[in-house]
C-alpha cells in the first residue's frame, strides 16, 4: 500500500470521527500533503472553515479534513487553482446529493 493510499484510508476512517473533534494544523498539513500556502488558499476560497480562526492555531474537523484532501487531489491531478478546485468540489458534492435523492 502506498503512502497516498494509507493517508486516504486514514482520512476515510476519520469521516466517522465526531465533527466536534479536531486535528491541529501540523497534522492536517501532514495528512493532507499540503503546505500552509495551499491550505490558506483553500480556506480563503471558503472550501473549508477552521474550528479556530487564528491561523497559527487552526484546527479542522474530520469533515473539513476530507474536503481539504479532495481539493488538494483536484489541484494536483487536474492542475487547478484553489478557486477552480472549489467549484469542481461543489459540483461533485451536488452530483452526489442528487444521486442520493434518486435512490
Rounded (5°) CA angle 13-93-87? 120
pLDDT at residue number 2 = 47
Rounded (5°) CA angle 37-15-35? 10
pLDDT at residue number 56 = 72
89 contact partners, CB below 8 Å, separation of at least 6: 47, 67, 70, 71, 74
Per-residue pLDDT of the chain (103 residues; tens, 9 = 90+): 445 544 454 444 444 456 667 888 899 999 999 999 999 999 999 999 898 777 678 999 888 999 999 999 999 999 999 999 999 999 999 999 999 999 8
Unique residue bearing C-alpha cell 483536484: 74
CATH assignment of the domain containing 87: 1.10.1660.10
pLDDT at residue number 51 = 86
* pTM flag (> 0.95): no
Separation CA 103–CA 12 (nearest Å) = 23
**Residue 59 host element (H or E):** strand 59-60
How many domains are contained in the chain?
A: 1
Domain that holds residue 50: 3-102
Cα 18 from chain centroid (whole Å): 16
Separation CA 33–CA 23 (nearest Å) = 14
Amino acid at each position: 500500500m502506498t503512502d497516498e493510499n494509507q493517508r486516504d484510508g486514514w482520512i476515510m476512517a476519520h469521516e466517522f470521527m465526531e465533527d466536534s473533534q479536531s486535528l491541529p494544523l501540523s497534522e492536517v498539513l501532514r495528512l493532507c500533503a499540503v503546505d500552509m500556502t495551499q491550505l490558506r488558499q483553500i480556506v480563503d476560497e471558503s472550501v473549508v472553515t477552521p474550528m479556530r480562526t487564528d491561523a497559527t492555531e487552526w484546527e479542522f474537523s474530520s469533515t473539513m479534513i476530507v474536503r481539504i484532501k479532495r481539493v488538494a487531489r483536484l489541484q494536483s491531478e487536474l492542475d487547478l487553482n484553489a478557486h477552480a478546485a472549489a467549484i469542481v468540489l461543489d459540483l461533485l458534492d451536488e452530483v452526489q446529493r442528487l444521486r442520493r435523492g434518486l435512490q
